[in-house]
Amino acid sequence: MTTLATKWLAWVGVFLVAVTVGLANAPADLPDMDGVPTAEAETVGMSSERLERLDRVMQGYIDRNEVAGVVTLVARHGKVVHFSALGKRDAESGAPMPHDAIFRIASMTKPITSTALMMLYEEGHFQLRDPISKWLPEFADMQVALPPPTQERTGRYKTIPAARPITVQHILTHTAGLANSYRGLMQPEFQEMSAQTKPGDTVGDMLKRLATLPLNFHPGDAWEYGRGTDVVGRLVEVMSGQTLDEFLRARIFEPLDMTDTHFYVPESKRGRFTALYHPNADGKIELTEAPTAASRFFAEPQVYFSGAGGLASTARDYFRFHQMMLNGGELEGTRILSRKTVELMIANHTGDKGIWLAGPGYGFDAIVTDLGPSGTPRSEGSYYWGGAYGTIFWVDPSEELIGILMTQIRPYTHLNTRADLATMTYQAIID
């Protein structure tokens, strides 16, 4: 046998060994992840038997008719060890839930939009303490609403000049004081303003109206959830010269192979879009919105790109985004951010300001800083957020762990699906 033939056979042997090892480590019950690394749970310090409890718990919600369907994904050390689709994508038609179902992710849009702005930060477009009025002059010289003195009894509020300008950091951390639909003195005015939105409006149009409303508090004085990330998205547009849709597609979705993440779902993918439900008086699901052309995710004109809550996505795509973040800004050789910028984003920027959740402070997502009050097994330094339709993600850098739950129900707070995802995942860790 020639030396060349001997070398060729040796390389073939090495290749076959590598393939055999790879197949041995690939879990047989996971679906095709289209290039996303998978592994048996035991190879990354988790128990596949204990992870099966996650399916049993989620199936219970479906059997009780409390949700139509669920997709859950768990990954550790960069490997997906659990990826399950249960129930129905559309209970009315009986369509089963596929692994690549497309969900309304609502506020889980926010981490992606904030990442886009921080990419521009790395290019030198701004500093975090810059006032946003440099790019959005409508937010200059803001007023703050205060209750009128009791003795005056005229009007709902009076205004005073804001003590300081709204900065980029305020907008990224929900500390700007913007009027919102949840709470605050300006809640009625915000709801009236929102009702003025009409087909063909852009986020920029909405923000010009928002900027006419007084703030609920002086920028930086408190934390209050609202539409700040729509401002983040608009800053991306003004600084980059692109629409938010164009920027995200070119700079994040295409580089990370997030092929099913959209502000408006293409017609070719409508067969994977999920129905949306709400609970009736008995806690059983009733249809809110069918996955049809009537949904706003298909409506024309397609010009309203909400950085605060406008995206639809899949569990696979959303995993790829957060694996990039967990890797310090890089995925499979594609760098989106530097490690130090990611560390800045997931730091606690709000100190001891009170926020809605027990345990965390707030970064550019949400940060667990106190394990006990948070009421979850997530490690300190974990970051997470959810969407209005019951979805949630969390990333635990200490355990190199990612959890994602996709479902479609609003309201969802009567259910423990989010907490169960964490409990059933962490109880499966065995190393």
pLDDT 10s per residue in the chain (431 long)? Answer: 444 343 333 333 433 333 333 333 455 567 666 768 999 999 999 999 999 999 999 999 999 999 999 999 999 999 999 999 999 999 999 999 999 999 999 999 999 999 999 999 999 999 999 999 999 999 999 999 998 876 565 678 899 999 999 999 999 999 999 998 888 888 899 999 888 888 899 999 999 999 999 999 999 999 888 889 999 999 999 999 999 999 999 999 999 999 999 999 999 999 999 999 999 999 999 999 999 988 989 988 999 999 999 999 999 999 999 999 999 999 999 999 999 999 999 988 876 666 655 555 556 756 665 666 667 788 888 898 999 999 999 999 999 999 999 999 999 999 999 999 999 999 999 99
The one-letter amino acid code at 185 reads L
Query: What is the distance between the alpha carbons of residues 73 and 147, in angstroms, rounded to a whole number?
Result: 47
Cα dihedral 411, 412, 415, 418, rounded to 10, equals -170
Question: Is 360 inside any structural domain?
Answer: yes
Query: What is the distance between the alpha carbons of residues 412 and 424, in angstroms, rounded to a whole number?
Result: 19
**Exposed e or buried b for every residue in 374-409, given b needs 16+ CB within 10 A?**
bebbbeebbbbbbbebbbbbbbbbebbbbbbbbbbb
Number of domains, the chain: 2
Domain boundary among 208, 226, 244: 226
0.85 exceeded by pTM: yes
Would you state the pLDDT for residue 9?
A: 34
Would you state the pLDDT for residue 6?
A: 38
Peptide bond before residue 411 is cis, with ω within 30 degrees of 0: yes
Question: Is 235 inside any structural domain?
Answer: no
3 state SS of 204: helix
Domain boundary among 226, 256, 291: 226
Query: What is the distance between the alpha carbons of residues 353 and 170, in angstroms, rounded to a whole number?
Result: 13
211 with 285, same domain: the answer is no
Strands (E), 125-194: 143-146, 158-161
Question: Is 58 inside any structural domain?
Answer: yes
Query: What is the distance between the alpha carbons of residues 340 and 121, in angstroms, rounded to a whole number?
Result: 12
Dihedrals φ, ψ of 250, to 5°? -75, -35
Question: Is 16 inside any structural domain?
Answer: no
CATH number at residue 359: 3.40.710.10
281 with 416, same domain: the answer is yes
63 with 100, same domain: the answer is yes
283 with 416, same domain: the answer is yes
Would you state the pLDDT for residue 363?
A: 67
Question: Is 2 inside any structural domain?
Answer: no
Query: What is the distance between the alpha carbons of residues 348 and 366, in angstroms, rounded to a whole number?
Result: 8
Yes or no: say if 331 and 323 are a contact pair by the CB < 8 Å rule. yes
61 with 172, same domain: the answer is no
Would you state the pLDDT for residue 20?
A: 34
3 state SS of 76: strand
Question: Is 123 inside any structural domain?
Answer: no
Cα dihedral 72, 115, 248, 112, rounded to 10, equals 30
Query: What is the distance between the alpha carbons of residues 241 and 263, in angstroms, rounded to a whole number?
Result: 18
**Exposed e or buried b for every residue in 263-289, given b needs 16+ CB within 10 A?**
bbbeeeeeebbbbbbebeeeeebeeeb
Would you state the pLDDT for residue 356?
A: 57
270 with 417, same domain: the answer is yes
Yes or no: say if 260 and 316 are a contact pair by the CB < 8 Å rule. yes
Question: Is 251 inside any structural domain?
Answer: no
196 with 148, same domain: the answer is yes
Would you state the pLDDT for residue 106?
A: 97
Domain boundary among 226, 255, 285: 226
| Residue partners of 218: CB distance under 8 A and separation at least 6 | 144, 162, 163, 164, 177
335 with 408, same domain: the answer is yes
414 with 287, same domain: the answer is yes
Question: Is 252 inside any structural domain?
Answer: no
Q: Domain range for residue 181?
A: 128-226
| Residue 137 burial by Cβ neighbours in a 10 Å radius (0-12, 13-18, 19+) | exposed
332 with 386, same domain: the answer is yes
280 with 377, same domain: the answer is yes
216 with 291, same domain: the answer is no
| Residue partners of 267: CB distance under 8 A and separation at least 6 | 298
- Residues 194, 309, 205: CA angle, nearest 5 degrees: 40
The one-letter amino acid code at 102 reads I
Does an H or E element contain 188, and which?
helix 187-194
| Residue partners of 161: CB distance under 8 A and separation at least 6 | 141, 142, 143, 144
